[in-house]
Amino acid sequence: MKQYDAIVIGAGQAGGPLAKKLALAGKKTALIEKRWIGGTCVNDGCTPTKSWVASAKMAYMAGNSSALGVKIKSYSVDMPKIKKRKDEIVKQFRDGSRKGLDATKGLDVIFGDATFTGDKTISVKLNEGGKTKELKASLFFINTGAKTFISEIEGLRDIDYLTSTTILDLDHVPEHLLIIGGNYIGLEFGQMFRRFGSMVTILEKSGRIVSREDEDVSEELSKIFKDEHIAIRTNTTVLKLKKKPGDKITATVLTDGLEKKIKCSHILIAVGRIPQTSGLNLAKTGVETDERGAIKVNDELETNIPGIYALGDVKGGPAFTHISYNDYAIVYRNLIKNEKLTIKNRPVPYCMFTDPQLGSIGLNETEAKKRKLNYKVAKLPMAYVARAIETGDTRGFMKAIVDADTKQILGATILGAEGGETMTILQMAMMGGITWEQVRWFVFAHPLYAESLNNLFMALEP
């Protein structure tokens, strides 16, 4: 059995950087990865989907260019080329990360499937050759991520359904893509494939899409999608799926108590993700998990077993690449730099890459109301933003929640062109304790989207 100081399971956005830093700090480290370096983000998450979003945006611009005085008589979507471009970008990111890890002294990168055999021991079945390695260490870091949650729908297992991973292998445009799930993943893929040329129908079980957002956000996004001829059915449950040889898939659904049938060529399951812990044999370690399989951690990301940590999506909570990376930063700086950082009260920004983007930070209006805070709301339609008018895209709005007494910014939601970038400015203001009154009078370069923050907060003046 080979002894290490530290073993990292999973080369995601926390695992890879952490393994490298631990090795550079003098700890003999092993990084175990059963698939590819980079985790979900690089291989079948952020990187590939955002490359496809860019291609879809080009198709949309080509189809709507006449509004800006540029007539394009015809254009076509070359799906094999779009996929090839995506694959090349993924390979570039993956290979770059692999190169950095391979060059790190004191770090062994092992490709295989890790299973705990004791509280600080693992067995790794190697990808090549099928042999096993027995390893042990005093420190373990689990970064195995999450996977698509597959609903229990009658007939689902009998059809070739798509997930957010397998849909990226398509080299053709589906005739009719039926998406089960009206949240972030489903909306990004829905708009993307509509722009590629698919007929798209989105089914959502709750009363509105992106139901964790404020109602006005859901309503505005619904309008934007319907304007692009994307069908959205809320209050809808899928009862049964069936496919006859040589025929389309038939989905039997229940909408507001009425049973209906929808025929489609492809189905995407986008109802959420669950932590990947089932194959780790955590029972051998005593590490506790919740009912969804997420590993329980304290504010410093350590489990109930000293010396075993969990980072990223595998621990539950906000499932974002930047949160996983921040998990790495916290663990590394605490262990190696002797700092005392925690995940408590850290900002959790996020951006959905629909077009327009939805960027969010801090509290929304619904949350502020639930907490019974003394707050004010600032709201500005993108139709009043100079840059939006000039570029011809006035969809969406800016919205901020502020403390009525201290004038601190409590949160912001930007649904508009480059919404994530504008949101980030407000995040920095929040972290720096800058009040809305100060942002109101900031000097921004004209005519940036950021400049409209002056007007957003002007509405709060007496």
Q: Which amino acid is at 413?
A: T
Could you give the C-alpha distances from 130 to 33, 71, 124, 133, 247, in angstroms and in order? Answer: 14, 58, 9, 10, 40
Which residue, 309, 303, 308, 307, is CA-closest to 288? 303
Count Cβ atoms below 10 Å from residue 275 Cβ, excluding itself.
24
d(CA 16, CA 325): 10
d(CA 422, CA 448): 10
The helix (H) or strand (E) run that includes residue 431 is helix 419-431
The DSSP output letter for 142 is E
d(CA 86, CA 13): 19
Q: Are strands 2-9 and 132-142 parallel, antiparallel or unpaired?
A: parallel
Listed in sequence order, the residues at least 6 apart from 189 whose beta carbon sits closer than 8 Å to its beta carbon are: 49, 164, 167, 177, 179, 268, 270
d(CA 442, CA 451): 8
Which residue, 461, 412, 427, 419, is CA-closest to 441? 461
Listed in sequence order, the residues at least 6 apart from 170 whose beta carbon sits closer than 8 Å to its beta carbon are: 79, 83, 162
Task: Note whether 116 and 122 are within 8 A (CB).
Answer: yes
Residue 453 has phi, psi (to 5 degrees) of: -65, -30
Listed in sequence order, the residues at least 6 apart from 91 whose beta carbon sits closer than 8 Å to its beta carbon are: none
Task: Note whether 277 and 294 are within 8 A (CB).
Answer: yes
229 catalytic per annotation: no
Residue 387 has phi, psi (to 5 degrees) of: -60, -40
Which residue, 205, 182, 215, 183, is CA-closest to 369? 215
d(CA 162, CA 170): 10
Catalytic residue among 176, 229, 322, 446: 446
Residue 368 has phi, psi (to 5 degrees) of: -60, -40
* Residues with a known catalytic role: 446
